[in-house]
Amino acid sequence: MNRAWWKEAVVYQVYWRSFKDSDGDGMGDLRGVMEKLDYIASLGVDVIWLNPCYTSPDVDNGYDISDYYTIMKKAGTMSDLEALITAAHERGLKLILDLVVNHTSDQHAWFKESRSSRTNEKADWYIWQDGVKGTPPNNWRSYFAPSPWAWDETREQYYFHSFASEQPDLNWEHPAVREAVYSMMRWWANKGIDGFRMDVINLIKKRATYDDVADPLDLSYLGNQPGIHELLQEMHREVLAGTDLFTVGEIPFVGPEDGLLYVGEERNELRTLFHFEVADDMETMDLPRFKQIQKRWYEALYPSGIASQFLNNHDHTRQVTRFGSERYRVESAKLLGLMLHTLPGIPYIYQGEEIGMTGIRFSDPESYRDVAFRNQYAERIAAGESPGTVLSSMQLRARDNSRTPMQWNTGKAAGFTIGTPWMAVNPNYREINVEAAEQDPNSVLAFYRKLIDLRKTHPVMVYGIYRDLAIQDPYLYVYERVLDGVTWRVVLNVHDEPVTTTFGLPEEQLILTNYDTADINRLAPYEARLYQYEMP
Protein backbone atom coordinates (compact mmCIF):
# COMPACT_ATOMS: atom_id res chain seq x y z
CA MET A 1 0.00 0.00 0.00
CA ASN A 2 1.34 3.46 -0.89
CA ARG A 3 2.22 5.51 2.14
CA ALA A 4 0.47 8.80 2.89
CA TRP A 5 0.14 10.98 5.97
CA TRP A 6 -3.62 10.69 6.01
CA LYS A 7 -3.55 6.89 6.13
CA GLU A 8 -1.45 7.18 9.27
CA ALA A 9 -3.71 9.77 10.85
CA VAL A 10 -6.04 9.50 13.82
CA VAL A 11 -9.09 11.75 13.58
CA TYR A 12 -10.80 13.36 16.56
CA GLN A 13 -14.40 14.43 16.04
CA VAL A 14 -15.50 17.63 17.77
CA TYR A 15 -19.24 18.05 18.08
CA TRP A 16 -18.68 21.65 19.13
CA ARG A 17 -22.15 22.33 20.52
CA SER A 18 -21.51 19.71 23.18
CA PHE A 19 -17.77 20.17 23.62
CA LYS A 20 -17.10 23.35 25.61
CA ASP A 21 -19.09 26.51 26.15
CA SER A 22 -16.95 29.65 26.45
CA ASP A 23 -19.65 32.27 27.05
CA GLY A 24 -22.16 30.70 29.41
CA ASP A 25 -25.10 30.48 27.00
CA GLY A 26 -25.26 26.74 27.57
CA MET A 27 -24.11 25.78 24.11
CA GLY A 28 -20.59 24.84 23.12
CA ASP A 29 -18.81 27.12 20.66
CA LEU A 30 -15.63 27.62 18.65
CA ARG A 31 -13.91 29.55 21.41
CA GLY A 32 -14.66 26.61 23.67
CA VAL A 33 -12.90 24.35 21.18
CA MET A 34 -9.99 26.78 21.23
CA GLU A 35 -9.83 26.59 25.04
CA LYS A 36 -9.50 22.83 24.79
CA LEU A 37 -7.15 22.65 21.84
CA ASP A 38 -4.18 21.75 23.99
CA TYR A 39 -6.17 18.87 25.42
CA ILE A 40 -6.95 17.62 21.91
CA ALA A 41 -3.30 17.98 20.90
CA SER A 42 -2.26 16.11 24.05
CA LEU A 43 -4.06 13.02 22.78
CA GLY A 44 -1.64 12.81 19.88
CA VAL A 45 -4.34 12.90 17.21
CA ASP A 46 -3.61 14.43 13.80
CA VAL A 47 -6.89 15.72 12.43
CA ILE A 48 -9.89 17.45 13.96
CA TRP A 49 -13.23 16.97 12.23
CA LEU A 50 -15.51 19.81 13.23
CA ASN A 51 -19.26 19.26 12.77
CA PRO A 52 -21.06 21.95 10.74
CA CYS A 53 -20.79 25.45 12.16
CA TYR A 54 -22.15 27.39 9.15
CA THR A 55 -25.16 29.68 9.43
CA SER A 56 -28.19 27.48 9.92
CA PRO A 57 -31.68 27.58 11.41
CA ASP A 58 -30.43 24.50 13.28
CA VAL A 59 -33.37 22.24 12.61
CA ASP A 60 -30.92 19.35 12.25
CA ASN A 61 -28.09 20.63 14.45
CA GLY A 62 -26.30 22.48 11.68
CA TYR A 63 -26.91 19.99 8.86
CA ASP A 64 -29.41 22.43 7.38
CA ILE A 65 -27.20 25.23 6.10
CA SER A 66 -28.62 28.59 5.06
CA ASP A 67 -25.27 30.22 4.22
CA TYR A 68 -22.09 28.30 3.45
CA TYR A 69 -19.90 31.39 3.81
CA THR A 70 -20.75 32.55 7.31
CA ILE A 71 -20.68 31.07 10.80
CA MET A 72 -23.67 30.25 12.95
CA LYS A 73 -24.02 32.78 15.76
CA LYS A 74 -24.30 30.02 18.35
CA ALA A 75 -20.86 28.76 17.27
CA GLY A 76 -19.16 32.16 17.14
CA THR A 77 -17.71 34.22 14.31
CA MET A 78 -15.60 33.74 11.22
CA SER A 79 -12.64 35.21 13.09
CA ASP A 80 -13.10 32.57 15.80
CA LEU A 81 -12.90 29.89 13.15
CA GLU A 82 -9.88 31.50 11.50
CA ALA A 83 -8.16 31.70 14.86
CA LEU A 84 -8.97 28.05 15.46
CA ILE A 85 -7.50 27.00 12.13
CA THR A 86 -4.31 28.93 12.88
CA ALA A 87 -4.03 27.63 16.42
CA ALA A 88 -4.63 24.05 15.26
CA HIS A 89 -1.92 24.37 12.64
CA GLU A 90 0.48 25.81 15.21
CA ARG A 91 0.02 22.59 17.17
CA GLY A 92 0.53 20.38 14.14
CA LEU A 93 -3.17 19.55 13.92
CA LYS A 94 -5.17 19.59 10.73
CA LEU A 95 -8.77 20.72 10.68
CA ILE A 96 -11.49 19.43 8.39
CA LEU A 97 -15.01 20.76 8.07
CA ASP A 98 -18.28 19.05 7.31
CA LEU A 99 -19.39 19.53 3.73
CA VAL A 100 -23.18 19.30 3.54
CA VAL A 101 -24.17 19.63 -0.10
CA ASN A 102 -26.79 16.98 -0.70
CA HIS A 103 -29.23 19.51 0.68
CA THR A 104 -29.41 23.03 2.07
CA SER A 105 -31.77 24.60 4.55
CA ASP A 106 -35.13 25.73 3.22
CA GLN A 107 -33.98 29.14 4.49
CA HIS A 108 -31.03 29.25 2.08
CA ALA A 109 -31.32 32.12 -0.44
CA TRP A 110 -31.02 29.57 -3.27
CA PHE A 111 -34.09 27.71 -2.09
CA LYS A 112 -36.05 30.86 -1.35
CA GLU A 113 -35.47 31.94 -4.92
CA SER A 114 -36.12 28.47 -6.32
CA ARG A 115 -39.48 28.23 -4.60
CA SER A 116 -40.56 31.76 -5.57
CA SER A 117 -41.80 30.76 -9.04
CA ARG A 118 -41.48 28.06 -11.68
CA THR A 119 -39.49 30.36 -13.93
CA ASN A 120 -36.86 32.10 -11.79
CA GLU A 121 -33.16 31.65 -12.47
CA LYS A 122 -32.77 29.00 -9.75
CA ALA A 123 -36.08 27.26 -10.48
CA ASP A 124 -34.22 24.01 -11.20
CA TRP A 125 -31.62 24.21 -8.46
CA TYR A 126 -33.74 21.83 -6.37
CA ILE A 127 -35.84 18.83 -7.32
CA TRP A 128 -39.40 19.78 -8.17
CA GLN A 129 -42.22 17.56 -9.39
CA ASP A 130 -45.75 18.30 -10.40
CA GLY A 131 -48.42 16.65 -8.39
CA VAL A 132 -51.75 16.97 -6.75
CA LYS A 133 -51.63 18.32 -3.22
CA GLY A 134 -52.01 15.40 -0.84
CA THR A 135 -50.69 12.86 -3.35
CA PRO A 136 -46.88 12.82 -3.29
CA PRO A 137 -45.23 11.85 -6.60
CA ASN A 138 -44.19 8.40 -5.36
CA ASN A 139 -44.27 6.00 -2.40
CA TRP A 140 -40.73 6.65 -1.18
CA ARG A 141 -39.78 7.54 2.37
CA SER A 142 -37.24 10.03 3.61
CA TYR A 143 -34.83 9.39 6.47
CA PHE A 144 -36.70 11.75 8.74
CA ALA A 145 -40.25 11.85 7.38
CA PRO A 146 -42.96 9.55 5.99
CA SER A 147 -42.46 11.02 2.49
CA PRO A 148 -39.50 12.79 0.86
CA TRP A 149 -41.90 15.12 -0.93
CA ALA A 150 -43.12 18.40 0.56
CA TRP A 151 -45.80 20.56 -1.02
CA ASP A 152 -45.02 24.16 -1.88
CA GLU A 153 -48.01 26.47 -2.06
CA THR A 154 -46.42 29.04 -4.36
CA ARG A 155 -45.16 26.73 -7.06
CA GLU A 156 -47.96 24.27 -6.47
CA GLN A 157 -45.41 21.54 -6.81
CA TYR A 158 -43.59 19.08 -4.59
CA TYR A 159 -39.92 19.39 -3.70
CA PHE A 160 -37.71 16.47 -2.69
CA HIS A 161 -35.98 16.09 0.69
CA SER A 162 -34.00 13.00 1.71
CA PHE A 163 -34.05 14.25 5.32
CA ALA A 164 -36.42 16.71 7.06
CA SER A 165 -38.72 18.88 4.96
CA GLU A 166 -36.57 21.86 6.06
CA GLN A 167 -33.64 20.24 4.18
CA PRO A 168 -34.50 20.35 0.44
CA ASP A 169 -32.14 18.34 -1.79
CA LEU A 170 -30.07 20.19 -4.37
CA ASN A 171 -30.39 19.23 -8.01
CA TRP A 172 -26.91 18.07 -8.93
CA GLU A 173 -27.94 17.67 -12.58
CA HIS A 174 -27.80 21.44 -12.89
CA PRO A 175 -24.27 22.59 -13.86
CA ALA A 176 -24.68 25.89 -12.00
CA VAL A 177 -25.39 24.02 -8.75
CA ARG A 178 -22.25 21.99 -9.16
CA GLU A 179 -20.17 25.05 -9.92
CA ALA A 180 -21.61 26.88 -6.89
CA VAL A 181 -20.62 23.99 -4.65
CA TYR A 182 -17.14 23.63 -6.15
CA SER A 183 -16.37 27.30 -5.83
CA MET A 184 -17.55 27.25 -2.21
CA MET A 185 -15.22 24.30 -1.55
CA ARG A 186 -12.31 26.14 -3.16
CA TRP A 187 -13.10 29.18 -1.04
CA TRP A 188 -12.82 27.11 2.15
CA ALA A 189 -9.67 25.39 0.95
CA ASN A 190 -8.15 28.83 0.37
CA LYS A 191 -9.05 29.74 3.91
CA GLY A 192 -6.66 27.06 5.04
CA ILE A 193 -8.84 24.15 6.06
CA ASP A 194 -7.34 20.73 5.44
CA GLY A 195 -10.25 18.83 3.98
CA PHE A 196 -13.86 17.79 4.18
CA ARG A 197 -16.00 15.19 5.83
CA MET A 198 -18.61 14.84 3.13
CA ASP A 199 -22.08 14.40 4.51
CA VAL A 200 -24.14 11.67 2.78
CA ILE A 201 -22.17 12.42 -0.35
CA ASN A 202 -23.41 9.47 -2.34
CA LEU A 203 -26.98 10.72 -2.11
CA ILE A 204 -26.28 13.63 -4.46
CA LYS A 205 -27.00 11.53 -7.55
CA LYS A 206 -30.70 10.68 -7.78
CA ARG A 207 -32.46 7.85 -9.55
CA ALA A 208 -33.21 8.51 -13.19
CA THR A 209 -36.94 8.24 -12.53
CA TYR A 210 -39.08 8.61 -9.45
CA ASP A 211 -41.16 5.49 -9.90
CA ASP A 212 -42.71 3.69 -6.95
CA VAL A 213 -40.56 1.05 -5.28
CA ALA A 214 -41.61 -2.38 -4.02
CA ASP A 215 -40.27 -1.83 -0.51
CA PRO A 216 -40.29 1.82 0.52
CA LEU A 217 -38.75 0.98 3.91
CA ASP A 218 -35.52 -0.11 2.25
CA LEU A 219 -34.14 3.37 1.67
CA SER A 220 -31.35 2.24 -0.65
CA TYR A 221 -33.07 3.96 -3.58
CA LEU A 222 -31.87 7.23 -2.00
CA GLY A 223 -28.17 6.69 -2.63
CA ASN A 224 -25.33 5.02 -4.56
CA GLN A 225 -27.08 5.49 -7.89
CA PRO A 226 -25.51 5.13 -11.36
CA GLY A 227 -23.71 8.33 -12.25
CA ILE A 228 -22.47 9.09 -8.73
CA HIS A 229 -18.88 8.35 -9.69
CA GLU A 230 -18.90 10.80 -12.59
CA LEU A 231 -20.02 13.50 -10.18
CA LEU A 232 -17.34 12.69 -7.62
CA GLN A 233 -14.67 12.55 -10.31
CA GLU A 234 -15.77 15.94 -11.53
CA MET A 235 -15.59 17.30 -7.98
CA HIS A 236 -12.12 15.83 -7.73
CA ARG A 237 -11.00 17.48 -10.96
CA GLU A 238 -12.55 20.81 -10.06
CA VAL A 239 -11.50 21.07 -6.42
CA LEU A 240 -9.33 18.31 -5.05
CA ALA A 241 -6.81 17.33 -7.73
CA GLY A 242 -3.30 18.49 -6.98
CA THR A 243 -4.17 19.41 -3.38
CA ASP A 244 -3.35 17.59 -0.18
CA LEU A 245 -6.94 17.88 1.07
CA PHE A 246 -8.22 15.02 3.17
CA THR A 247 -11.66 13.75 2.18
CA VAL A 248 -13.86 11.22 3.89
CA GLY A 249 -17.23 10.46 2.38
CA GLU A 250 -20.24 9.31 4.30
CA ILE A 251 -21.44 6.53 2.01
CA PRO A 252 -24.60 4.69 3.02
CA PHE A 253 -25.98 1.67 1.10
CA VAL A 254 -22.54 0.54 -0.05
CA GLY A 255 -20.79 -2.79 0.40
CA PRO A 256 -17.07 -3.43 -0.09
CA GLU A 257 -17.06 -3.98 -3.85
CA ASP A 258 -18.84 -0.70 -4.51
CA GLY A 259 -16.77 0.89 -1.77
CA LEU A 260 -13.61 0.41 -3.79
CA LEU A 261 -15.11 2.49 -6.58
CA TYR A 262 -15.22 5.46 -4.22
CA VAL A 263 -11.77 5.17 -2.68
CA GLY A 264 -9.55 3.18 -5.04
CA GLU A 265 -6.49 5.40 -5.44
CA GLU A 266 -6.56 5.37 -9.23
CA ARG A 267 -10.24 6.39 -9.20
CA ASN A 268 -9.62 10.03 -8.18
CA GLU A 269 -12.73 10.35 -6.06
CA LEU A 270 -12.37 10.22 -2.26
CA ARG A 271 -9.51 9.39 0.07
CA THR A 272 -11.57 7.28 2.44
CA LEU A 273 -15.14 6.52 3.45
CA PHE A 274 -17.52 5.68 6.25
CA HIS A 275 -19.67 2.70 5.43
CA PHE A 276 -22.72 1.70 7.45
CA GLU A 277 -22.60 -2.07 7.64
CA VAL A 278 -21.99 -1.79 11.38
CA ALA A 279 -23.43 1.57 12.38
CA ASP A 280 -26.79 1.18 10.66
CA ASP A 281 -27.20 -2.56 10.44
CA MET A 282 -25.93 -4.03 13.69
CA GLU A 283 -28.04 -3.22 16.75
CA THR A 284 -25.51 -4.52 19.30
CA MET A 285 -22.26 -6.44 18.94
CA ASP A 286 -22.61 -9.49 16.70
CA LEU A 287 -19.00 -10.61 16.64
CA PRO A 288 -19.10 -13.24 13.87
CA ARG A 289 -20.83 -10.76 11.61
CA PHE A 290 -18.48 -7.97 12.59
CA LYS A 291 -15.49 -10.14 11.67
CA GLN A 292 -16.99 -10.93 8.29
CA ILE A 293 -17.52 -7.24 7.62
CA GLN A 294 -13.92 -6.44 8.50
CA LYS A 295 -12.59 -9.25 6.35
CA ARG A 296 -14.73 -8.42 3.33
CA TRP A 297 -13.86 -4.73 3.42
CA TYR A 298 -10.19 -5.42 3.89
CA GLU A 299 -10.08 -7.92 1.02
CA ALA A 300 -12.00 -5.64 -1.32
CA LEU A 301 -10.03 -2.46 -0.60
CA TYR A 302 -6.47 -3.50 0.16
CA PRO A 303 -4.03 -2.29 -1.12
CA SER A 304 -5.57 0.41 -3.28
CA GLY A 305 -8.09 1.84 -0.83
CA ILE A 306 -8.58 2.36 2.87
CA ALA A 307 -11.77 2.60 4.91
CA SER A 308 -12.44 4.51 8.11
CA GLN A 309 -13.08 2.82 11.44
CA PHE A 310 -15.71 4.17 13.79
CA LEU A 311 -18.24 2.70 16.16
CA ASN A 312 -19.88 5.89 17.32
CA ASN A 313 -20.34 9.53 16.42
CA HIS A 314 -22.97 12.24 16.81
CA ASP A 315 -25.51 9.99 15.02
CA HIS A 316 -24.77 6.71 16.77
CA THR A 317 -24.94 5.99 20.44
CA ARG A 318 -21.74 5.62 22.38
CA GLN A 319 -19.76 2.50 21.67
CA VAL A 320 -19.37 1.28 25.25
CA THR A 321 -23.13 1.27 25.68
CA ARG A 322 -23.94 -0.24 22.31
CA PHE A 323 -21.06 -2.59 21.51
CA GLY A 324 -19.31 -3.04 24.85
CA SER A 325 -20.64 -3.28 28.38
CA GLU A 326 -21.47 -0.61 30.94
CA ARG A 327 -20.75 -3.18 33.64
CA TYR A 328 -17.24 -3.58 32.26
CA ARG A 329 -17.10 0.02 31.15
CA VAL A 330 -13.38 0.66 31.48
CA GLU A 331 -12.36 -2.75 30.16
CA SER A 332 -14.71 -2.69 27.18
CA ALA A 333 -13.89 0.94 26.33
CA LYS A 334 -10.23 -0.04 26.13
CA LEU A 335 -10.98 -3.19 24.18
CA LEU A 336 -13.03 -1.33 21.57
CA GLY A 337 -10.34 1.34 21.31
CA LEU A 338 -7.59 -1.23 20.85
CA MET A 339 -9.67 -2.96 18.21
CA LEU A 340 -10.44 0.18 16.21
CA HIS A 341 -6.84 1.35 16.26
CA THR A 342 -5.40 -1.97 15.15
CA LEU A 343 -7.91 -3.01 12.49
CA PRO A 344 -7.14 -1.93 8.93
CA GLY A 345 -8.45 1.61 8.39
CA ILE A 346 -8.27 5.14 9.74
CA PRO A 347 -9.51 5.39 13.35
CA TYR A 348 -11.95 8.10 14.43
CA ILE A 349 -12.44 9.09 18.05
CA TYR A 350 -15.70 10.81 18.90
CA GLN A 351 -15.25 13.33 21.72
CA GLY A 352 -15.66 11.66 25.10
CA GLU A 353 -14.97 8.19 23.74
CA GLU A 354 -11.43 8.59 25.03
CA ILE A 355 -12.71 8.77 28.61
CA GLY A 356 -15.24 5.98 28.11
CA MET A 357 -18.37 8.13 28.15
CA THR A 358 -21.60 6.15 28.00
CA GLY A 359 -24.79 6.75 26.03
CA ILE A 360 -27.65 8.35 27.88
CA ARG A 361 -31.21 7.06 27.75
CA PHE A 362 -33.83 9.67 28.56
CA SER A 363 -37.01 8.35 30.16
CA ASP A 364 -39.09 11.25 28.92
CA PRO A 365 -39.60 11.63 25.15
CA GLU A 366 -39.58 15.42 25.55
CA SER A 367 -35.91 15.31 26.54
CA TYR A 368 -34.99 14.18 23.04
CA ARG A 369 -34.18 17.21 20.92
CA ASP A 370 -33.23 15.52 17.68
CA VAL A 371 -35.48 16.14 14.66
CA ALA A 372 -35.09 12.51 13.54
CA PHE A 373 -36.27 11.23 16.92
CA ARG A 374 -39.12 13.69 17.21
CA ASN A 375 -40.48 13.07 13.74
CA GLN A 376 -40.28 9.31 14.01
CA TYR A 377 -41.78 9.30 17.50
CA ALA A 378 -44.70 11.48 16.39
CA GLU A 379 -45.32 9.31 13.33
CA ARG A 380 -45.49 6.12 15.37
CA ILE A 381 -47.73 7.62 18.06
CA ALA A 382 -50.05 8.92 15.32
CA ALA A 383 -50.15 5.40 13.89
CA GLY A 384 -51.56 4.15 17.20
CA GLU A 385 -48.51 2.61 18.91
CA SER A 386 -48.24 3.05 22.67
CA PRO A 387 -45.79 5.72 23.92
CA GLY A 388 -44.00 3.22 26.19
CA THR A 389 -43.36 0.77 23.37
CA VAL A 390 -42.20 3.46 20.98
CA LEU A 391 -39.84 5.01 23.50
CA SER A 392 -38.25 1.75 24.58
CA SER A 393 -37.74 0.61 21.00
CA MET A 394 -36.09 3.91 20.06
CA GLN A 395 -33.97 4.42 23.15
CA LEU A 396 -30.82 2.48 22.35
CA ARG A 397 -30.32 3.96 18.91
CA ALA A 398 -31.50 7.54 19.51
CA ARG A 399 -28.97 10.02 18.14
CA ASP A 400 -29.16 12.25 21.22
CA ASN A 401 -27.65 9.43 23.27
CA SER A 402 -24.22 10.50 22.16
CA ARG A 403 -24.85 14.24 22.05
CA THR A 404 -24.78 15.00 25.78
CA PRO A 405 -22.09 17.47 26.85
CA MET A 406 -18.47 16.49 27.19
CA GLN A 407 -17.60 15.66 30.79
CA TRP A 408 -14.60 17.72 31.84
CA ASN A 409 -14.70 17.65 35.63
CA THR A 410 -16.94 17.22 38.67
CA GLY A 411 -18.02 20.87 38.69
CA LYS A 412 -21.39 22.27 37.71
CA ALA A 413 -22.60 20.83 34.39
CA ALA A 414 -19.43 18.73 34.26
CA GLY A 415 -17.37 21.84 33.53
CA PHE A 416 -19.03 22.13 30.14
CA THR A 417 -20.79 25.45 30.80
CA ILE A 418 -21.35 27.91 33.60
CA GLY A 419 -24.89 28.32 32.28
CA THR A 420 -27.68 25.84 31.68
CA PRO A 421 -26.54 23.18 29.22
CA TRP A 422 -28.57 22.96 26.02
CA MET A 423 -28.83 19.23 26.59
CA ALA A 424 -28.77 17.43 29.94
CA VAL A 425 -25.38 16.29 31.15
CA ASN A 426 -25.09 12.57 31.83
CA PRO A 427 -25.29 12.28 35.65
CA ASN A 428 -22.35 9.88 35.65
CA TYR A 429 -20.03 12.85 35.04
CA ARG A 430 -19.04 12.77 38.72
CA GLU A 431 -17.24 9.53 38.04
CA ILE A 432 -16.47 9.80 34.31
CA ASN A 433 -14.65 13.01 33.42
CA VAL A 434 -11.40 14.21 31.91
CA GLU A 435 -9.95 15.56 35.15
CA ALA A 436 -10.36 12.22 36.93
CA ALA A 437 -8.98 10.37 33.91
CA GLU A 438 -5.89 12.60 33.81
CA GLN A 439 -5.06 11.56 37.38
CA ASP A 440 -5.41 7.84 36.82
CA PRO A 441 -2.58 6.06 35.00
CA ASN A 442 -4.97 3.19 34.22
CA SER A 443 -7.70 5.35 32.76
CA VAL A 444 -9.26 4.85 29.36
CA LEU A 445 -7.68 8.18 28.46
CA ALA A 446 -4.17 7.00 29.28
CA PHE A 447 -4.82 3.86 27.24
CA TYR A 448 -5.98 5.88 24.22
CA ARG A 449 -2.84 8.02 24.39
CA LYS A 450 -0.75 4.84 24.25
CA LEU A 451 -2.73 3.50 21.31
CA ILE A 452 -2.32 6.70 19.33
CA ASP A 453 1.35 6.82 20.13
CA LEU A 454 1.81 3.23 18.96
CA ARG A 455 0.24 4.06 15.63
CA LYS A 456 2.78 6.87 15.19
CA THR A 457 5.72 4.62 15.79
CA HIS A 458 4.60 1.31 14.23
CA PRO A 459 3.71 1.34 10.55
CA VAL A 460 2.46 -2.24 10.88
CA MET A 461 -0.69 -0.81 12.44
CA VAL A 462 -1.39 1.16 9.28
CA TYR A 463 0.11 -0.82 6.42
CA GLY A 464 0.29 -4.38 7.73
CA ILE A 465 -1.69 -7.04 5.95
CA TYR A 466 -4.63 -8.37 7.97
CA ARG A 467 -5.52 -11.95 8.75
CA ASP A 468 -8.23 -13.34 10.99
CA LEU A 469 -7.14 -16.40 12.97
CA ALA A 470 -10.43 -17.51 14.51
CA ILE A 471 -13.18 -16.26 12.28
CA GLN A 472 -15.80 -18.70 13.58
CA ASP A 473 -15.27 -18.05 17.27
CA PRO A 474 -18.32 -16.31 18.77
CA TYR A 475 -16.45 -14.53 21.60
CA LEU A 476 -12.79 -14.30 20.69
CA TYR A 477 -11.54 -11.94 18.03
CA VAL A 478 -7.97 -12.88 17.10
CA TYR A 479 -6.19 -11.25 14.20
CA GLU A 480 -2.74 -10.34 13.03
CA ARG A 481 -1.22 -7.47 11.12
CA VAL A 482 2.04 -8.24 9.35
CA LEU A 483 4.58 -5.91 7.79
CA ASP A 484 8.24 -6.47 6.93
CA GLY A 485 8.65 -9.53 9.16
CA VAL A 486 6.95 -7.89 12.14
CA THR A 487 3.68 -9.43 13.31
CA TRP A 488 1.19 -7.85 15.66
CA ARG A 489 -1.31 -10.20 17.16
CA VAL A 490 -4.50 -8.89 18.72
CA VAL A 491 -6.44 -11.16 21.05
CA LEU A 492 -9.79 -9.84 22.27
CA ASN A 493 -12.44 -11.39 24.45
CA VAL A 494 -15.51 -9.51 23.23
CA HIS A 495 -17.68 -10.97 25.94
CA ASP A 496 -18.61 -10.55 29.60
CA GLU A 497 -17.44 -14.01 30.72
CA PRO A 498 -13.90 -15.38 30.84
CA VAL A 499 -12.78 -17.59 27.94
CA THR A 500 -9.92 -19.98 27.40
CA THR A 501 -7.63 -19.54 24.42
CA THR A 502 -4.66 -21.05 22.67
CA PHE A 503 -3.73 -17.78 20.99
CA GLY A 504 -1.95 -16.19 23.96
CA LEU A 505 1.78 -15.52 23.60
CA PRO A 506 4.54 -15.21 26.21
CA GLU A 507 4.46 -12.11 28.36
CA GLU A 508 7.68 -10.68 26.86
CA GLN A 509 5.78 -10.21 23.62
CA LEU A 510 2.94 -8.28 25.19
CA ILE A 511 2.84 -4.62 24.14
CA LEU A 512 -0.46 -3.49 25.58
CA THR A 513 -3.26 -4.96 27.66
CA ASN A 514 -6.23 -3.71 29.62
CA TYR A 515 -5.72 -6.03 32.63
CA ASP A 516 -2.88 -6.15 35.17
CA THR A 517 -2.14 -9.81 34.81
CA ALA A 518 -2.15 -11.83 31.63
CA ASP A 519 -2.86 -15.55 31.93
CA ILE A 520 -1.53 -17.01 28.71
CA ASN A 521 -4.44 -19.42 28.29
CA ARG A 522 -7.34 -17.45 29.65
CA LEU A 523 -8.88 -14.06 29.04
CA ALA A 524 -11.00 -12.18 31.55
CA PRO A 525 -14.23 -10.41 30.49
CA TYR A 526 -13.42 -7.86 27.78
CA GLU A 527 -9.71 -8.56 28.11
CA ALA A 528 -7.71 -7.18 25.19
CA ARG A 529 -4.09 -7.95 24.40
CA LEU A 530 -1.70 -6.72 21.79
CA TYR A 531 1.41 -8.80 21.13
CA GLN A 532 4.34 -8.37 18.83
CA TYR A 533 6.67 -11.01 17.47
CA GLU A 534 9.24 -11.13 14.72
CA MET A 535 9.66 -13.88 12.20
CA PRO A 536 13.18 -15.28 12.11
Instruction: Provide the annotated active-site residues.
Output: 199, 250
354-389 burial by CB neighbour count: b if 16+ within 10 A, else e? bbbbbbbbbeebeebebbbbebbbeebeeeeeeeee
- Is there binding between residue 480 and ligand GLC (CB under 6 A)? no
Q: Which of 73, 46, 99 is nearest to 239 (CA)?
A: 99
- Is there binding between residue 100 and ligand GLC (CB under 6 A)? yes
What lies within 8 Å, CB to CB, of 230 at 6+ separation is: none
Q: Of all residues in this chain, which one has the CB nearest to ligand GLC in the complex?
A: 63
Q: Which of 18, 16, 12 is nearest to 402 (CA)?
A: 18
Burial class (CB in 10 A: 0-12, 13-18, 19+), 499: middle
We find the least distance from the C-beta atom of residue 398 to ligand GLC, in angstroms, to be 13
Say if CB 150 and CB 167 are below 8 A apart: no
- Is there binding between residue 106 and ligand GLC (CB under 6 A)? no
- Is there binding between residue 315 and ligand GLC (CB under 6 A)? yes
Closer Cβ to ligand GLC, 98 or 473, answer by number:
98
We find the least distance from the C-beta atom of residue 353 to ligand GLC, in angstroms, to be 16
- Is there binding between residue 328 and ligand GLC (CB under 6 A)? no
Closer Cβ to ligand GLC, 11 or 434, answer by number:
11
Say if CB 14 and CB 81 are below 8 A apart: no
- Is there binding between residue 163 and ligand GLC (CB under 6 A)? yes
We find the least distance from the C-beta atom of residue 164 to ligand GLC, in angstroms, to be 8
Closer Cβ to ligand GLC, 152 or 315, answer by number:
315
Q: With contacts defined by CB under 6 A, how many residues of the chain interact with ligand GLC? A: 9
Amino acid letter at 480?
Answer: E
- Is there binding between residue 63 and ligand GLC (CB under 6 A)? yes
We find the least distance from the C-beta atom of residue 64 to ligand GLC, in angstroms, to be 7
DSSP 511: E
Q: Which of 340, 290, 311 is nearest to 471 (CA)?
A: 290
- Is there binding between residue 15 and ligand GLC (CB under 6 A)? no
Say if CB 278 and CB 226 are below 8 A apart: no
Q: Which of 60, 169, 354, 400 binds ligand GLC (CB under 6 A)?
A: 60
Closer Cβ to ligand GLC, 60 or 269, answer by number:
60
- Is there binding between residue 58 and ligand GLC (CB under 6 A)? no
Closer Cβ to ligand GLC, 122 or 161, answer by number:
161
Distance CA 14, CA 447 (A): 20
Say if CB 166 and CB 57 are below 8 A apart: yes
- Is there binding between residue 390 and ligand GLC (CB under 6 A)? no
Closer Cβ to ligand GLC, 145 or 530, answer by number:
145
We find the least distance from the C-beta atom of residue 210 to ligand GLC, in angstroms, to be 20
- Is there binding between residue 200 and ligand GLC (CB under 6 A)? yes
Distance CA 28, CA 455 (A): 30
DSSP 346: E
- Is there binding between residue 400 and ligand GLC (CB under 6 A)? no
Complete DSSP assignment for 91-110: TT-EEEEEE--SB--TTSHH
Q: Which positions touch ligand GLC (CB under 6 A)?
A: 60, 63, 100, 163, 199-200, 250, 314-315
